[in-house]
Amino acid sequence: MTWTTLNPWIAAPEIFLLCAALFILLADLFISDEKKQISYGLTLAAIAGSALLLIETWQPAARSGFNGMFVADALSQLAKLGMLLGVELVLIYGRGYALARGLFKGELFTLSLFALIGMMVMASSTNFVTLYVGLELLSLSLYTLVAMQRESVRASEAAMKYFVLGALASGLLLYGMSMVYGATSSLDITVIAHHIAAQQSNNLLALFGLVFIVTGIGFKLGAVPFHMWVPDVYDGAPTLLTQLIGSAPKLAAFAFMFRLLAEALAGFQPDWSSMLTVLAILSLVVGNVAAIAQTSLKRMLAYSTISHMGFLLLGMLSGNSVGYAASFFYAMTYMLTAAAGFGMIMLLSRKGFESDQIADFKGLAKRSPWFAAMMLMVMFSMAGIPVFVGFFAKLAVLKAVIGMGMVWLAIFAVACSLIGAFYYLRVVKVMYFDAPESHAPIEANFDFRFLLSINCLLLLGLGLAPESLLTVLAEAVQHSLPIL
């Protein structure tokens, strides 16, 4: 490996973030509990610095490095920007929440950074080894973060379920990758794609590997029937960490799926499309129907996430750039919407009280008309009601499905969305038509209130001009697709 093939500059954002995480890890040992704001400030600065480096090193053309194991292309760069924004929002929204619950520690900051590095590596990986390393760095960091609230039985139980099922899924994914390696004699995504296209691989063995790979992807997305961990982890983890699990990692999961299916295994597109169709249908049905029965807002959002991942899969199964762009757009906009939704839960929470029940939002319009309107925007966007961005994200996916000639599947997805609208509108009804059960003041820092308001208003702003973002993401996907 020469310096030219190494080309470490393309990974400058990740290298900077890793060095910053190690520095914060060491510096935090000498910072007292009363001065953890220093570690917090350094963490936010590290994420902002990585974003600036990403923008500074941005180039339209794809560049590879580390002997072809890492790529900086338009898709990875845009996905990383979304991930950096998502984690930054988690830390800003969760500061007061973490302080009130004893979670404002160096472990929270460093593990969040390591999880972010894992996501970014996943987005740029062009080799099965780096893909798996990035995935495990993200997964292990999240397992540990969920278990941070050690005195909470629910959090410990959620962490154990997440770890056991996650380890099983990782094992299945690794087994599938090893089968593809055996079938193609390569771990490089581009080489694998060429061998499959040129019929120079053992297709039977590769197809067996594909089954295990789709299983692993299904778990990471929380798609049915691999969704068992989602409601328990979302409900049991502190809301701060639920937001972290439910926002930026969805972008990483899309990038991971894109690298494996759309690039490496593009030659088996009819096979994995049929598998994703089944996962999407089951996710849409189970997610929407189960969410209706929930009284916990976090569990409702968990089942809602399952249904949203069904829509994400609908875009991917199209097997073309239009569908991939629709899925990318869906993942990006869902990250913003989920961040705002969990941010609202933390806004109403206070020390000794978790505002995680739907009933806790009763009469919010009387307590705070502004934040009731913000939560309304979140619910309307998730339900896919015009003119919010969630509507256009679903519309883009449905157009891709119809473009494949699968009109029946698009109609089915619309019907499931109508079911989902019920439980989202129920939250709006509770806020505006029920009497408040608590008149406690809403306490939050100005930066939290301001950023959460901007986040919610962005759902409306992107809905008024969705083509601007969708066009950029579509071009990124087009330039990242392999030419076989």
- Cα dihedral: 10, 88, 334, 422 (round 10): 170
Measured CA to CA in angstroms, residue 126 lies from 83, 133, 257, 323, 381 at distances of: 19, 12, 12, 21, 34
Q: How far apart are CA 345 and CA 299, in angstroms?
A: 12
Token pair belonging to 255: 């990038």
Q: Where are the domains of the chain?
A: 3-480
For the stretch 246-294, pLDDT in tens is 889 999 999 999 999 999 898 899 999 999 999 999 999 999 999 998 9
- pTM, whole model, 2 decimals? 0.94
pLDDT in tens, the chain (484 residues): 555 567 788 889 999 999 999 999 999 888 888 888 999 999 999 999 999 999 988 887 888 888 888 998 889 999 999 999 999 999 999 898 898 888 888 899 999 999 999 999 999 999 999 999 999 999 999 999 998 888 888 888 888 989 999 999 999 999 999 999 999 989 999 999 999 988 888 889 999 999 999 999 999 888 988 888 899 999 888 889 999 998 899 999 999 999 999 998 988 999 999 999 999 999 999 999 999 989 899 999 999 999 999 999 999 988 888 999 999 999 999 999 999 999 999 988 877 677 788 888 998 888 888 999 999 999 999 999 988 999 999 999 999 999 888 999 999 999 999 998 999 999 999 999 988 877 777 777 888 889 999 999 999 999 998 898 999 999 988 888 765 4
Dihedral sign computed on CA atoms, order 88, 90, 92, 93: positive
For the stretch 207-253, pLDDT in tens is 999 999 999 999 988 898 888 889 999 988 888 999 999 889 999 99
